[in-house]
Structure 1
């Protein structure tokens, strides 16, 4: 989907300050490097890192590579028989909060919890906005994981990897 053109109203002044420029993986990597966050590029071209022991991917997607997504996976998995309890917590999270989107997937006979925060940056993004977006995605997804950990009974087996 192509971005809609932004139009200034008659008499509206030209923008001052930093001008949004296209989103790139290199800009995201530069931000992470500047903050001292260790990361790698995975086989899909996504930036991957770990925060508080939870794996995260910072993904650029879309027809024009204009969508920024911060996706995290809770480091702990839950037994399949905890599906109803976990879904109850996740549905409550999704009902009560705007982001991140939370969902559960079965992986290797266990339940994995994911959080995703996404935004369309078809009109570009300043460095300050990019930093805020990435940090918002990370922080709110970590809040999701903390909420689930505090709400559910402890899992019977910690995830080894």
Structure 2
């Protein structure tokens, strides 16, 4: 008898609610996290000075992606070194996926954690996904801060200056 041929009925899995922006904002509110919604309807906010967005992707908004951007000014001339550091991270860590883009004369470093919830998702899963996406991205960004301490210090000083004015 084959593994897949059986007379035992297969149990029906529980029905999970579909993913939606309201599910994301409910988790953020339950954690008392500050966020905003941009003109495109995307939810985002700042954690440790880094901008994060929570994107719904796919034909039916079934994919949840937490995407953060490292808030440091590193010149495009540093592309080989930054790319090597991010690639090493990708090889040695499960998540987030890191990527580097040349944006004019500076580098944009992004961290992404994406999961497909086409069959629905529980509130606990949304909470876990957001927490994991933010915290693991912050770990990648802290690793890069160790490699670029002057750029990290400059960004923190700018953030403190901006907070003092606001």
TM-score bracket for the superposition, by shorter chain length:
0.7 to 0.9
Q: Using a 3 Å threshold, how does the CA distance of structure 1 residues 153 and 82 change in structure 2: closer, same or farther?
A: farther
TM-score, normalisation: structure 1: 0.85
Of 94, 103, 107, which residue of structure 1 is paired with 2:103? 107
Distance 2:137 2:84 in 1: 17
Asked if 2 retains the 8 angstrom alpha-carbon contact of 1:79 and 1:155, the reply is no
Distance 2:18 2:8 in 1: 26
How many residues are treated as equivalent by the alignment? 151
Q: Using a 3 Å threshold, how does the CA distance of structure 1 residues 51 and 156 change in structure 2: closer, same or farther?
A: closer
| Ranges in structure 2 where 5+ consecutive residues have no aligned partner | 1-6, 160-166
Confirm or deny that 1:80 pairs with 2:79. no
Q: Counterpart in 1 of 2:162?
A: none
Higher relative contact order (CA 8 A, sep 6+): 1
Runs of 4+ in 1 over 4 A off after TM superposition: 12-16
After TM superposition, the structure 1 = structure 2 runs for residues 8-157 of structure 1, keeping only pairs within 5 Å, are 10-15=8-13, 19-152=15-148, 154-155=150-151
Distance 1:156 1:37 in 2: 24
Q: Using a 3 Å threshold, how does the CA distance of structure 1 residues 10 and 66 change in structure 2: closer, same or farther?
A: farther
Query: Per-residue deviation at 1:153?
Result: 5.0
Once structures 1 and 2 are overlaid, which stretch shifts more, 146-155 or 21-30? Answer: 146-155
Asked if 1 retains the 8 angstrom alpha-carbon contact of 2:37 and 2:44, the reply is yes
Asked if 2 retains the 8 angstrom alpha-carbon contact of 1:77 and 1:113, the reply is no
Query: Per-residue deviation at 1:157?
Result: 8.6
Find the structure with the greater CA-based Rg: 2
Task: Determine helix, strand or coil for the equivalent of 2:150.
Answer: coil
| Ranges in structure 1 where 5+ consecutive residues have no aligned partner | 1-8
Asked if 2 retains the 8 angstrom alpha-carbon contact of 1:54 and 1:73, the reply is yes
Task: Determine helix, strand or coil for the equivalent of 1:155.
Answer: helix
Q: Deviations over 1:92-127 (max 9, x none)?
A: 011112211111122242112110100000010000
